[in-house]
Each structure stands twice: as C-alpha cells, then as structure tokens.
Structure 1
Amino acid sequence: MSSFKKVLFLSPIPPPAGGIATWTKRIIQNGLPNNFEIAIVNTKVIGKRRVFADSINLFSETKRLLKIIIKLFRQLMFSDIKIVHINTSCAKLGLIRDYLCLLVVRIHKKPVIIHCRCNVDDIIPNYNKFIKNIFLKMINGASLVLVQNNPSLSYIKKNTNIIPILFPNFISDEIFLENSEKRIINEKISRVLFVGGITDNKGVSEILAASLYFPHIEFRLVGDISEKYEKNIDINQNVTLVGEKNYEDVIVEMKNADLFLFPSYSEGFPNVVLEAMALGLPIIASDVGAIPDMIDQYGGILIKKGSSLDIVSSLRILEEDYEKRTQMSIYNKNKVRKEYLYSKVSKNLVYIYEEVIKKS
C-alpha cells in the first residue's frame, strides 16, 4: 500500500495568470512535505473570459461547470483522495460552482477545506441574498475554512458558527535566499515603485496626485495599464508607466527601488507586498486586507485608502528618516524569513491536512 496521501485541489492553474492560479502553480512546482501528493481539477476561466472578465456566456459557463463536476467525480471515484482543498475567489458564479463541488465531495464523504482567496468582508456583503446564502452554506459545510486576513475572519465568525484559520501566502525559499543579503539603504529616496494593475482601485490616481509634491523622485508603476491611463497624456514627468513585466523583471525593479508604494483599495493577502518585504523594501501601503498584519507598525507606514495626502505625509517622514527606513528593511526581511517562506508555510498546510483527515 502506498504511503502517499493525496490532496485534490479545485483551483485554477495558469494560463491565464492570477493570484490563485500562481499560488497553485507554485505549490505544484515545490511539492508538499510529509508524503502528500497533489491532484488537480483545473477551474480556470475559458474563452472570452480569459480576456474580458465581465464577458459571461451562460451556455459556456454551464458547459465549463459540467466538465469540472465530471472531473471531480472521476478523481473521487478512481483516485485515493484523502482531502479536498477548494480555492474560492468569492466571485458570484464561482461561489455557486464551489458550493456544488462541495456537495459532490460530501456525497463521497471526503473532508474538504474551503480556502477564501478574497477579502470576504469587502465582497460578500455586496451580493444579493441568494449568493450570500450560498457562501454561508458553503462555509458551514466545510470541514475547515482558511482565510487570508482578519477582516475576513471576523466576517465569517460573525455570520456563521465557524472559526476560520488565518493562513498566509508564501514566497519561495530560493527567491529569499538569492536576496538574503542585507539591503543597502540609500541616504535619499530617488525611486518609488508600485506593482499592480494601473487602475483607480489600486490607488493609481492617488499616486499621481502625490507625485506632484516630489518632482525629484521617480515613480515607477509596473503592471497592466488600463485604457483610462493608456490614453492619459497628463502623466507627470516624474512618473513612468512601465507596463507589464515578468516575475524576474519585477524582482529587478524591486532591487533598484528605494521604497515600495501600494495604496490599493482592497486586498486579500497581496503577494507583491510579500515580495517587496522579502527584498527588504520599506513600504507605504493602505490598511486593507492582510497588509496591517504583514508589515505591522515596523515594516512600513499604513495609510487610509483613497488618501493622496497620506501618501505625501508618509513619504516626507521616510525621506527625512534614513534610520527608520533601514530598520523597516531589516524588519521586513526577518519577518519573511520567520513566517512566510514556503518551507514553513507548506509544513503548516500539511499539518492542517493531517488534523482534518484524523477528525473526518
């Protein structure tokens, strides 16, 4: 009899790229300890939705759902699955699909983990009663629930009988070790970096407003540029819209920056902030999602979302305090080493699997 234990992921894998898909791909690439094998039912978007997120065709979505359900049945029938891990983005149609998948898993009497890869308290309250009930039924039907941040945890505790577990994202040990040396902090801030979609909900308009106060600093914005900003000819001279970069090039951008700025309106557990921490960048970021827990009060300055004045005042503080930036850099690298390396996070994940399997 095989000593391997098989976990089945219901999760997207690239292409297209995305936070959940990238997380899943890296788990598959790195593997899991304690003799856990990974099986996958790919829930990625297809057709036009790969390009246009709002382009939904009910026929194609139903066809996609049936394919996922059939693949799930086959895995549960013909593979020795010990536990199922459902990554949910909390999108409307995704919640219905994930709930139906949970019911299928329950028919086969397998333990199932629901992993909320979203800022639950930002998303679920805006849905109609039907979708909210689907979400709550799914949470109540799970063997265990994982969330990415305290606001999500609080929402679920308040609206169900479930107490979720906070579970962080990770960075690969290799990336951290390759950049493990102490970061050299420049006396002056000459380059501020943002990485993410060049859109209003990522705080880009606030970055542009704040940049007017710092003509001597270059603001580099890396990421897919929305149509609004592609057509904007009034971008300040000290702002560079770089466009999309691959992972390796983003790391290079971080190495060349003096500070990481991330004034997003809503986040779950942003990998890009984790990567900036791993490279020892001081951080200015909005106090949303997991960010307050990630950087605490020691790794950066938290600002209110939508406030360009908070960006300005925080930048001025850090411009004048080289020692503070140095301490932030040291703190961020140490925190990543202690809490967010894949070797540590994956051990915690399989410990959770083993405990859930024992109780099932």
Structure 2
Amino acid sequence: MQVVDIAPRTEGDQRSRFRPSRAAHSVWVLGEFVRQLIQFKPQIVHCSTSYRWGLARDLPMALLAKASGAKTILHTHGGDFHRFLERLSEPLLSLVVESLRLLDCIVVLTYEVKTALENEYCLANVMCIPNFIDTSRFEPEMVKNGKKIAHKDDLEAVFIGWMIEAKGIFDAVRVLARVPGWNVTFVGPKPNDDTEYRLMALARELNVATRMTVLSAVPRADIPAILHRADLFLLPSHREGFPISVLEAMAAGVPVVATDVGAVREMIIHDVTGFVVPLGNLDKMADAIQVLVKDPVLRSKFKKEALKLVKDKYDRSLVTTTIGDLWSRLAGS
C-alpha cells in the first residue's frame, strides 16, 4: 500500500477563524490534490477535516476523489460535528448532507455524533473511530525528570493547551482562589495579545499569583515529564473538539477535571476516571478539585481506571488497526 500525504502544514495561531492567507493556501492545496489524483489514481482517499472553514476545502476534495472513482472517507476531527451542522442555513445544510451521503464513509470521533448523524440526517455511512495516542510514551520508565516537584504539600495541577480565553484559563484562576491546597501550572503557546497580562492581573487581584506558574509552549517530547509531575489535569475549556491532552493526562495516570464540552463526556467516565463539570459552573469545578485535594485514595482510583481506559480504547495500535481494517474493507468492496 502506498500512502500519499498532502495535508497542509500551518504554523502559528491555530485558533479556528477565517484568514485570507489560509483561504489562499486552501486553493493551492485543492490544486495540488487534483494533481495527485491524476498522477497516482488512488484506490482510497482518506480526507481529514476540522470542519468549519476547513470543510469548505475538504468536502469538495472528497467529492472530487469520489468522482475520480476512488473509495472516499471524510474523517471529521472534532467532537461536535452535529452541532456545526445545526448552525448551517437550510440550503447549505441540505447541500452538505447530500454531499456527505455520496461518500463511502464518514468517520466521526464520538458515538454521540454518530447517533446524531444517523438519526437526524439519515446517514448510513457513519463510523466512530476516536483519536489516539501512543500510550507507551507515558510509561514511567520512558519518562525522564518526571519526579514530582511540589510546593510544600500542596497538590499540583497542570493545564496544557493554547493560552486563550476560550480554554477557560481565567476560570481556572478564579477556581484557584476558591479552593486552598493546590497550585496550577499553565503550559502552552500564547497569542500575540494581552491575555497573559490580564491573567496575571486577575491572579494578583485574587491573591493567588504565587500559586500559579505560566510557561511557554514546550516540545512535545517534554509533555510526559510535565504530566508525571502533576497530581491533577485541569481543562476548563469553553469549547473543545477531541482534546488529545485529556488522553495524554490519563496515560500518565493523572486524574482529569474538565468541562462538559466537545467529546469530553465520552473521553472521561465521570466519577470513575475523573470529573466532568458543567460549562460555566465554577462551584462544581471547585467542588471537584476540592474532593481530589482532600482524597488521595480517590486520586489513586482515578489513576488506575484512567490508565486502563486509555490503553483499552485510545492506544495508537488499536485505533490504527481499525483504520487499516476500514481501508481493507473499502479496497475489497
């Protein structure tokens, strides 16, 4: 099997928004895709899309592949594709749904999305395949400098992600002020605005600046060690797709407290591998963190169950085998 990858690679701010530069690049990608179709005449085309603006490029690519005679898969990377469809105007929604119906397979990340597409739009070509990680990277023996570094006896929490307001970082600081006995480290790339300044100003106003640390983006290779130094992973996002950071935290044996957005409710088994709290409910988030601060036995239980879940369901070897089986089935049909 020959695999040709022409996925666009972009640097910098990855927030979902329209930009003329991205639109121009998408036109180039579309032209390159047509050239590859003509040159390689593939039997299977697997198109990944983040939908939203990306779908305007990726769905036509999938339809072109189908028209060329290839078996075609559209792989949606996000936990709320059905919500995206709900926001489309009626003419555009009909066009998108009928286009999806022409494809051989639509891959979604959660069973909630699969059920919605089947029941609300009568799509029969939907398959659920979650995102995955290489769990072996997070085994203790594979991690260097992973020894816990704590402020006295306080619990150490970590947030890993874009340092933007939509990730709930200001909510994290407000909750930090409500619950004693823990500290938080923010790790991730920062936008070119005043977000960090406002975050630190809020921390000083709430008298928690000494209990938080803000780090810049770190190499992916350093993430396992950072997680192994933590007792808790915090993801207070206002919106998410399928956050890989949650899988990485579970693979490192770190209990997760996250808001109920995107695919989070399927990734975390509430009160078994972590806590899922309602979006915007800081009281519930504070309660969840306070429980974990006070109960090391529960943290140990969550760690054990999270490790089992991520290895049984989200390990790279399992998910890539499923994708390979899908390719083989389509190639033989």
- Which category describes the TM-score, using the shorter chain as reference length? 0.7 to 0.9
- Structure 1 residues 156 and 55: alpha-carbon distance in aligned structure 2, compared to 1, 3 A threshold: closer
2:332 is the alignment partner of 1:358 = yes
- Structure 1 residues 65 and 293: alpha-carbon distance in aligned structure 2, compared to 1, 3 A threshold: closer
Report deviation, 1:293.
Answer: 2.0
Instruction: Note the alpha carbon deviations across 1:220-240, whole angstroms, 9 max, x for none.
Output: 111123434222223232122
**Contact between 1:194 and 1:220, CA under 8 Å: does it hold in 2?**
yes
**Contact between 1:258 and 1:282, CA under 8 Å: does it hold in 2?**
yes
**Secondary structure of 2:4's match?**
strand
User: What residue is the counterpart of 1:249 in the other structure?
Assistant: 222
- Structure 1 residues 130 and 43: alpha-carbon distance in aligned structure 2, compared to 1, 3 A threshold: farther
Report deviation, 1:273.
Answer: 0.3
Distance, in Å, in 2 between the alignment partners of 1:43 and 1:90 is 14
User: What residue is the counterpart of 1:106 in the other structure?
Assistant: 66
Report deviation, 1:267.
Answer: 2.0
Distance, in Å, in 2 between the alignment partners of 1:178 and 1:82 is 42
Structure 1 stretch displaced more, 49-58 or 191-200: 49-58
User: What residue is the counterpart of 1:314 in the other structure?
Assistant: 288
Report deviation, 1:215.
Answer: 4.1
**Secondary structure of 1:43's match?**
coil
Identical residues among aligned pairs (%): 21
2:57 is the alignment partner of 1:84 = no
1:171 pairs with one of 133, 144, 148: 133
One-letter identity of the residue aligned with 2:214: L
2:185 is the alignment partner of 1:220 = yes
> Which ranges in structure 2 are unaligned for 5 or more consecutive residues?
none
**Contact between 2:255 and 2:302, CA under 8 Å: does it hold in 1?**
yes
Report deviation, 1:309.
Answer: 0.9
Report deviation, 1:201.
Answer: 1.8
User: What residue is the counterpart of 1:56 in the other structure?
Assistant: 19
One-letter identity of the residue aligned with 1:56: R
Cα RMSD, aligned residues only: 2.8
2:257 pairs with one of 257, 281, 284: 284
User: What residue is the counterpart of 1:128 in the other structure?
Assistant: 89
2:307 is the alignment partner of 1:333 = yes
Distance, in Å, in 2 between the alignment partners of 1:135 and 1:324 is 46
Distance, in Å, in 2 between the alignment partners of 1:224 and 1:234 is 19
User: What residue is the counterpart of 1:151 in the other structure?
Assistant: 112
Instruction: Note the alpha carbon deviations across 1:312-359, whole angstroms, 9 max, x for none.
Output: 100111122211110110111122222222111111110011112222
User: What residue is the counterpart of 1:229 in the other structure?
Assistant: 195
**Contact between 1:83 and 1:110, CA under 8 Å: does it hold in 2?**
yes
Structure 1 stretch displaced more, 233-242 or 66-75: 66-75
**Contact between 1:264 and 1:286, CA under 8 Å: does it hold in 2?**
yes
- Structure 1 residues 97 and 353: alpha-carbon distance in aligned structure 2, compared to 1, 3 A threshold: same
- Structure 1 residues 66 and 291: alpha-carbon distance in aligned structure 2, compared to 1, 3 A threshold: closer
User: What residue is the counterpart of 2:239 in the other structure?
Assistant: 266
Distance, in Å, in 1 between the alignment partners of 2:141 and 2:120 is 42
Distance, in Å, in 2 between the alignment partners of 1:319 and 1:173 is 26
One-letter identity of the residue aligned with 1:81: P
**Contact between 2:139 and 2:252, CA under 8 Å: does it hold in 1?**
no
**Contact between 2:133 and 2:315, CA under 8 Å: does it hold in 1?**
yes
Report deviation, 1:184.
Answer: 9.5
One-letter identity of the residue aligned with 1:120: F
User: What residue is the counterpart of 1:209 in the other structure?
Assistant: 174
Instruction: Give the structure-1-normalised TM-score.
Output: 0.79
Distance, in Å, in 1 between the alignment partners of 2:107 and 2:259 is 23
Instruction: Note the alpha carbon deviations across 1:62-89, whole angstroms, 9 max, x for none.
Output: x544433332233222325221111111
Distance, in Å, in 1 between the alignment partners of 2:98 and 2:277 is 35
- Structure 1 residues 76 and 225: alpha-carbon distance in aligned structure 2, compared to 1, 3 A threshold: closer
User: What residue is the counterpart of 1:38 in the other structure?
Assistant: 3
- Structure 1 residues 302 and 273: alpha-carbon distance in aligned structure 2, compared to 1, 3 A threshold: same
2:274 pairs with one of 300, 303, 307: 300
User: What residue is the counterpart of 1:196 in the other structure?
Assistant: 161
**Secondary structure of 2:19's match?**
coil
Number of corresponding residues = 318
> Which ranges in structure 1 are unaligned for 5 or more consecutive residues?
6-36
Report deviation, 1:292.
Answer: 2.0
**Secondary structure of 1:296's match?**
coil
